[in-house]
Every structure is written in structure tokens, then in C-alpha cells.
Amino acid sequence: MTANLLDFDLEGLAAFCEGLGEKRFRATQLFRWIHQRGARDFDQMTDLAKSLREKLKTSARLQDLPVLSQHESADGTIKWLFDVGNGDAVEAVFIPEDDRGTLCVSSQAGCAVGCRFCSTGHQGFSRNLGTGEIVAQLWFAEHFLRRHLNTAERVISNVVMMGMGEPLQNYSALVPALKVMLDDHGYGLSRRRVTVSTSGVVPMMDRLGQDCPVALAVSLHAPNDALRDNLVPLNRKYPLAELLDACNRYLQHAPRDFITFEYCMLDGVNDLPEHARQLVDLVRTHAGTGVSCKLNLIPFNPFPQSGLTRSPNSQVTAFAKILSDAGIVTTVRKTRGDDIDAACGQLAGDVKDRTRVDQRIARQRTVILKQVPAAPAAAKETGPS
């Protein structure tokens, strides 16, 4: 069986080349050909010795992901559906902006967390992606976009691990993929411009801070445990106090001096003024010092199975004002690509569920979210830390 070279970070590729009797600098050359130039044919790699190219033809391959479909939004967002075999398909999304190009990458075929407001979670979970399958999304998108835009310059400046799946539940494949993205001989992305999003897998947050600290986004979505237990089932294992403790530990290693908290705005569920005041109290007073953070409010992108609706703009604005007036940096995410189902929470791909998701979701929906009581708001808001 030949080795897929997209599975290797530079250290792994060096070990592979040593196994072929080659020196380390050959791995660096090969790594550049693959990631910086997008080469897939070993005969293109003209500064490699012919003897090495012949070895590679019999021992290695570049296994990309077949593209099942491509859709382009009116706002320039592009979504690809990639075939990962055995009936599973995953999605990646490119979001162009004036000052950056962001690629949203999937880490799993489906997701086992089962958040109420996420279309991916309603599909269930099939399997983890391999490192090569994660990297292949970036490899394809970067070099496709260069051809598409007729440029030799790098197009993708930011990567967010916010596609299908919970990245920290696929840790062993995630970290080598991140190292490829960060390596100067690969894509040369800044640690500040690579973001891992998590619903709160506390032990893996601690490991990531030690092994490969990049920007971190935490899917918060509720200011108290009673509500978050229902919206983000993982909260029952790692409740808010443990999660925020992990955030503070991560900040000791993070490339940014804040954690981004993602908060999906659900009409009548988590968007009331008392929820905003609880949120202020939570991030300002936790463990006596609070958590250095930015709040990113996300308009919910409805889908029928959720039973949820988007908060009105006026409610989002009022919620944001309470946070901002308390001195918390708050942004409202602009919805991109919703006309092609490429917006936040809409990525669904095609997954052979192995987790009986229908039964789990049905049990969750027996709880009427709008009747979940808010925890008592703080009597007095604290000032900026």
C-alpha cells in the first residue's frame, strides 16, 4: 500500500523520506512542491533527484478528495462537497472578504455532539477524517482558487476548523493537519489566523494548548448550565465552570489574548435581556477574575428539524448592546453563503449515521426550550476587567 503524502506534516514526511534512504532536505523540497505549488505528479518535481522520483512513484501517492459538487453564492462564497468514501461526504466553504480569504474546513463525517441548532448534528456521526482528508480540503481549495482567480499569490489567509464535526474529538488527525497549515514550507499561516472551534472538550483543549496552540473559538450558546445542557449536550460532561477554567488555562499558551465565544441567537430561547446579563456576569466574574473574551453573536440559520427560529434583528441588537455596554467586545456575524446552505450551522454533507441520531434528537425535543428557566441574573453587573 502506498503512502498518501497529504497525511504527513513535515516531521512525518522527513521520517518517510528517511525510510526511503533520503536525507531530510528532500522532505522539505517535496513538502514545498505539494503544498506551495500544488503539484500532484512526481515528474513535475524537477529539483528532486530522478532516483527519488522513481521511488515515490512506487511508494507514495497524493490522494485528494473527489469533488461531488461546487456551489457559488451571490456574495462570492464557494461551497464544495467532497466524497470521503463509503457513502460519506463532507463540505468545505471559502469565504472571500476584502482583507482576507477564509476556508472553513471539516474534521469529521457528521458530528456526535448533537447540538440542537446545528444541521450537521442532526445528521449524526459516521467517522473521523484522516489528516490527509483534512489537509486535502485546503490543498484543493487553495490551488483551485489560484487557477480560478488567475493569481500566483496565496488566496487563503485564514482557516477555521468550523466545518462538519467536533475537531477536538479527532485530535490525533487534527494536530498534524494544523502543523501543515502553520509550516512555513507548507501554507505558512499565522497561529492567529488558524482557529479551532470546539463545543468544549476540556481535556483536549488542555492538550491543544500544549501541543499546537492556535486561536480558539468555544461554542458557548448559553449563559447557564440548565440551558446549555439542552442546547449543547456535551455540557453535561463538561459544565460551564470546567469549560471556563479550561479557557483560562488555554490563554496561557494562546496566540491571542482572548477566547472567542460563539453564541447562536435563538428566538425566545437564549436571546432575552436576562440571558445577556447572565452572560456578562459569567465571563466577568468566573473564578474571581473572569475570562478574557470576545463574544461573536451568530444569527441562527433555520432548518426544519430543529424546531427553532432566528432571533429578530432588534433582539440581537439589544442583546449586543447589553454586552457592549458592560465593556465586552461583541460582534454580530454577517451571514454569508446562506443561499447555498453554506452559512454557519448549515453544513450537512451526506453521512451514514452510526449513532441513532433520530432517537437522540427526539428525546431532546421533548424538552420545550422556551420553558427552560433562566438562572437568576446578577444583582449588579461588574465593570470592565
Q: C-alpha angle 228/158/124, rounded to 5°?
A: 40
β-strand partners of 195: 160, 215
Q: What's CA 281's distance to the chain center, in Å?
A: 27
Q: How many CB atoms are located within 10 Å of the residue 226 CB?
A: 12
* Active-site position among 104, 212, 293, 344: 344
Active site residue 344: yes
Q: Pick the closest to residue 70 from 99, 91, 96, 43 (CA basis).
A: 91
Q: What's CA 133's distance to the chain center, in Å?
A: 14
Active site residue 133: no
| CA–CA separation, 173 and 84 (whole Å) | 15
* Active-site position among 22, 91, 166, 262: 91
- Does residue 289 contact residue 332 with C-beta atoms inside 8 Å? no
Query: What does each C-alpha distance from 294 to 95, 118, 306 come to in angstroms?
Result: 21, 21, 27
Q: Cite the active site residues.
A: 91, 344
